[in-house]
Amino acid sequence: MNTGIPLQYFLILATVMFFAGIYGFLTRRNLITILMSVELILNSVNINFLAFNRYLYPHKLEGMFFSLFIIAVAASEAAVAIAIIINIYRRFTTINVEDVNEMKY
Amino acid sequence: MINFNYTIWILLIPFLMFIFLGLAGHKYFPKLSGILGTSGLAIITILSYVTAYKYFFVSEKIEGAYQKIIAFNFTWLQFTDKLHIDIGALLDPISVMMLVVISTVSLMVHIYSLGYMKDEKGFERFFSFLSLFSFSMLGLVLATNIFQMYIFWELVGVSSFLLIGFYYQKPSAVRASKKAFIVTRFADAGFLIGILILSFNTKTFDFISLTNPAGSAITQGAGIGFLGLSIMTWSMIFVFMGGVGKSAMFPFHIWLPDAMEGPTPVSALIHAATMVVAGVYLVARMFPIYAIAAPVALNVVAYIGAFSSLFAAVIACTQTDIKRVLAYSTMSQIGYMMLALGVSGYGGHEGLGYMASMFHLFTHAMFKALLFLGAGAIIHAVHSNYMTDMGGLRKYLPVTHITFLIACLTIAGIPPLSGFFSKDEILAAAFHSNKILFAVEYAVAGLTAFYMFRLYFSVFWGRDTHYHHTPQEAPATMTIPLIVLAIGSVVTGFIPFNKLVTSDGKILESELELAVAIPSVLIGLLGIGIAYVMYRKENSISDKLAARFKYSYKWAFNKFYIDEVYLFVTKKIIFRYISEPVAWFDRHIVDATMNGIAAVTQSVSFRIRGFQSGQLQKYAFVFITGAIMLVILLIYMWK
């Protein structure tokens, strides 16, 4: 089972995406961008799952199913998060996270 | 062997109906729920009658005695191999008889409520509670073991509580329901202790092995003594305490008159015909133990029964609230039943009292339900509970009048109505075993006739009261149950109970004893005659008498101040000397410890709250840094 592209390439891509996501998640102040960063993280994990599944255990399907689950969960999570963001916007008329700090002590 | 498996439906139908009406009734069919509940009960009634027919006339007897049949039984809670609680159905003469009584009266009350409760708010709630009550009462009488009985016993208490407090916006109804619940609950604590002592000694909950006269429970259960009485006697006295509470015997009777705050059909069903006789049923169920192993406890039953019946009858003569008169008369009649059980022996001719008690329970259920439903019709027409607001109603309420008269004659023991036969058996049983108790009951028979006819004459005859609007006869849904029950009150006296329901299941040879019957009819007639003179026309004899015996009248009118005694004991003694110190301890020791812990936690958290900046991204940064450091650590440790 060899497609020509080595496994490491996938892993590098996934790592880059993962840390790009982490970086975005930590530095951005816009809620929507944060959400997008989270999606990036999730998708990098997906790539990892698929690549490992394909290269290490080509006759099994667990990795595929797991990434399918992650996609489904990510979709619902995005829906919930956007709903929350809309509500936050209605209440504070901003989606900057630093202005939304009523829960601090 | 006949298959009685279907009896499980007798329990399931009302239970499902309760859940169904309770959950869905309000939203989907508030109007239909009455019809649904009633038809469910009609099915149960048919099943009960079929069961009774099959049990008494088809299933074979062994050595001339009806056998106890376990219709079904399964383990409900398994604690250990030996200790387990079962749910099942036990068929024997008394449980089958109770099935008939409960389903009949309950069906009549359901039909009656269709008319009586028609425009009430919470119509469907009412019917779902009624179903719950039917379920629990049927489960109680069918219980195969004493613990199942206890479970359903409490369920009956809960449904009684719910139904007394049906008008939950009325403070008096709320108070009454609380009072009923607490008083009976207090008595039930005794019941539970009794069960525990009993089953600890006999190692079984099961009724069949408990009440087998030759079984080990009775022959060896006496055990060690305490304060001069055997353990068995103590446990049976405690069990009887539960019966005293439920059956409103002295001194736990105080809840019953107040329970009349509930809707009248409820009073008829629960507080007259079925639930309050649960105590009698309990004693009858455990009867072989009482009679053979704990005769002292049986004496307690007899004396409490006799005293309660006299006590209640005296109070009933002075009350003016029509439902309260009936409530006290219920208490008095249940006292009769307890007394009859108390003077009875086990087996043979000695068992006359047992048979008489069950017979009276049966006939009493009919005529007392009739009286209450009649009272409901009167209240429905006049919109008042007080006899002083009534008079001359015979012109307006002909059907109610006739049926009420039949019921009054029945309870007064006039032949050939059913009350005559059953009361006569009780008096005969008392006559043969204890002359003092017989004298008491004989006097109560006269008092009963007097206060019932005092009620009858002042409601239907007496002065012609002017009503704001002409009272109208109740609708057919209300009068039909009255008529059916009136027929029941007339004919049930001819049921040969001595062949069907006896202490040992064998036929008991008994015949009318004229030496007892004639004087009892005479004193009944005397009571009616006095009531006729005093209340037939408006006159001042009763007022003069009340003025003459001012103090004793006042005592009786205020129910001998038992309520006040209870209040004094609870408020002045228990609350002040027990509850208040306990409350102080709770507030100043227990709570203070907890408050101290809370204060320490609070001051610590004030100091460290700066860490909680509220910025999610700061937290995330810390978290991710930590995670990365862990990973690095792991990688290097691995090497």
Q: For B265-308, what is each residue's pLDDT tens digit?
A: 888 888 888 888 899 999 998 888 888 888 888 889 999 999 99
CB contact under 8 A, A105 and B616: no
Count of pairs with CB atoms under 8 A, one residue in A, one in B:
27
A98 part of contact set with chain B, CB < 8 Å = yes
A78: pLDDT confidence band, cut at 50, 70 and 90?
Answer: very high
The token pair at B632 is 């690095």
- For residue B384, the model assigns a pLDDT of 81
A97 part of contact set with chain B, CB < 8 Å = yes
In this structure, are residues B614 and A103 in contact, taking their beta carbons and an 8 Å threshold? yes
User: What value does the mean pLDDT take over residues A44-50?
Assistant: 93
B614 part of contact set with chain A, CB < 8 Å = yes
Q: CA B335 to CA B250: how far, in whole Å?
A: 9
Chain B residues with CB-CB distance to A20 below 8 A: none
CB contact under 8 A, B615 and A26: no
Q: Compute the Cα dihedral for B326, B328, B334, B335 and give only its sign.
A: negative
- For residue B1, the model assigns a pLDDT of 57
User: What value does the mean pLDDT take over residues B339-344?
Assistant: 89
In this structure, are residues B355 and B501 in contact, taking their beta carbons and an 8 Å threshold? yes
pTM of the full structure: 0.77
- For residue A104, the model assigns a pLDDT of 59
**pLDDT one-digit tens code per residue, B7-43:** 888 888 989 988 888 887 777 777 788 888 889 899 9
pLDDT score of B471 more than 80: no
A22 part of contact set with chain B, CB < 8 Å = yes
In this complex, the residue of A22, A29, A104 whose CB is nearest that of residue B624 is: A22
CB contact under 8 A, B614 and A27: no
CB contact under 8 A, B615 and A105: no
CB contact under 8 A, B620 and A25: yes
Half-sphere exposure (Cβ direction) of B567: Cα atoms closer than 13 Å: 4
Nearest Cα neighbor of B357 from B481, B498, B249, B473 is B498
Chain B residues with CB-CB distance to A81 below 8 A: none
Average pLDDT, chain B: 85
Chain B residues with CB-CB distance to A22 below 8 A: 624
Residue B619 distance to chain A (closest CA, Å) = 9
Q: CA B392 to CA B326: how far, in whole Å?
A: 20
Chain A residues with CB-CB distance to B619 below 8 A: none
Q: Minimum mean pLDDT among B3-12, B255-264, B462-471: which range?
A: B462-471
3-state secondary structure of A12: helix
In chain A, whose CA is at the least distance from the CA of B620? A26
